[in-house]
Structure 1
Amino acid sequence: MGAAGRGDGSVSQSTHAYERVKAEIVAGGLGPGTHLNEVRLAERIGVSRTPLRAALQRLDREGLVRTVSGRGAFVSELSLSDVRHLFQLREALETHAARLCARSARRGEFGGLEREFTEQHAVLARDTGGSRLDGYYALAEELDRRIDEVVANPYLTGAMAPVRDQLRRLRRIARRSPERVLRSALEHAAVCRAIADGDEDAAAAASARHIDNSLRHILDASV
């Protein structure tokens, strides 16, 4: 195999390692503070150490991994101060994105999402065992994708991407509270309704209200 082929393979392995480790961190399989032993991790996910090291460096830049000189890489931890700072940035980005969507010619698309969130609320209200949460979170991911498409601003969506990754790590807290998930579904519906109506102020306010309520829930649950 030529040098180009080896290079392509290395990039592919690095991407595979990045996506695999990132998914495990976001899902909580690799918890905060976990030491990421390169030898064992490379063997487990089926890559060599060089592309794994590149993947860990990329995750370090994104804030999901913390590299300590002489000790190696660890899954980053989120203090309550980190969470507050994260939500401050989230509010600045998401409220502006909501305004942009409300003034877009595609704002009517959010009417369908409003109905889906309202339906999800009804489904979750009947779900006493939490078996339908994945459907709700999939719909929330769809809302994020639609916002990114409608905003069509790579700088804004690029800034939101690492924030969303950190937020996904916090979902386990919301999952423990069915009441919070129910309220969150209605809050998402309100954001979508305001966007569909073309009301920028209402869209930004609904987004800010959802973010503030989410932060309060996390802080209360962490006391």
Structure 2
Amino acid sequence: MRASDKAYAMLREDIVEWRLPPGTVLGEVEQSQRLGVSRTPLREALARLTADGLTAPHNGRGVVVTPISPETVLALFELRQALECQAASLAAVRGRPEIFRGLRSDFQEAAARLDADPGEDPARRGYYALVARLDAGIDEAAANPYLAQALVNVRLHLARVRRLAKDNPARLRETAGEHATIAAAIASGDPALAAAATKVHLHKSLEHFTTVNHP
């Protein structure tokens, strides 16, 4: 792995996991020493993070981790709805039903595990891995590389927002059911139903974020 790729991957993970929270200034000298890379590959990594929207230039001294506000989350969900509803619709037309029937069953089992082990990290990790499988399955079935690439950036920001949303076991169980419904709708081959199921899930997710952060 190139030094710039290594630095980019490490910094991106630190930002998404909130080890580098919004407002953190990433100076070239400090970060090159911390990551063990020279300043040239570090600059390349910082430029990529800025292109992703995770950082922004800061007074000529490196970059700063971008903030997350209710307004930016709303804008993100507006874009997410347009992209994910379209992807689900295309997947319903182009995808293999048996794949999504299997995913529906997996989400039903995940909901049961979350019921049995509320708040347990293994159940949560398994659930998020399953969500990633559904995302990958929809991307592959939709068979639109431009749409898939647009979703990559949206999901990157969503991973950071998820930490802010303070997911709880009750909400995770709800989302497991919502994802099972999306998978079933795609498996049915009905594009309108798949888009509608996705829209309901996104509405509830945004509502949860708003409630948690603005009680």
TM-score (structure 1 length as normaliser): 0.91
1:164-195 CA-to-partner distances (Å, cap 9, x unmatched) read 00000022244442111110010000000000
Q: 2:21 aligns with which of 14, 31, 35?
A: 31
Q: Distance in 1 between matches of 2:105 and 2:83?
A: 24
Structure 2 equivalent of residue 168 of structure 1: 159
How far did residue 89 of structure 1 move?
0.2
Report if aligned partners of 1:98, 1:200 keep a CA contact under 8 Å in 2. Answer: yes
Report if aligned partners of 1:97, 1:151 keep a CA contact under 8 Å in 2. Answer: yes
Question: How many correspondences in the alignment?
Answer: 213
Structure 2 equivalent of residue 75 of structure 1: 65
Structure 2 equivalent of residue 119 of structure 1: 109
How far did residue 102 of structure 1 move?
0.3
Report if aligned partners of 1:60, 1:67 keep a CA contact under 8 Å in 2. Answer: yes
Report if aligned partners of 1:108, 1:197 keep a CA contact under 8 Å in 2. Answer: no
5 Å-filtered alignment, 1:75-154, equals 75-131=65-121, 132-154=123-145
**1:21 matched to 2:21:** no
**1:49 matched to 2:50:** no
Q: Distance in 2 between matches of 1:176 and 1:199?
A: 30
Unaligned stretches of 5+ residues in structure 1: 1-8
TM-score (structure 2 length as normaliser): 0.94
Q: Distance in 2 between matches of 1:78 and 1:193?
A: 33
Q: Distance in 1 between matches of 2:29 and 2:171?
A: 41
Q: Distance in 2 between matches of 1:21 and 1:78?
A: 17
1:85-130 CA-to-partner distances (Å, cap 9, x unmatched) read 0000000000000000000142331110110000000000111333
**1:191 matched to 2:179:** no
Secondary structure of 1:108's counterpart equals helix
Secondary structure of 1:74's counterpart equals strand
CA RMSD of aligned residues (A): 1.4
Report if aligned partners of 1:87, 1:211 keep a CA contact under 8 Å in 2. Answer: yes
**Greater alpha carbon shift after TM alignment, 50-59 vs 105-114:** 105-114
**Greater alpha carbon shift after TM alignment, 46-55 vs 166-175:** 166-175
Report if aligned partners of 1:101, 1:107 keep a CA contact under 8 Å in 2. Answer: no
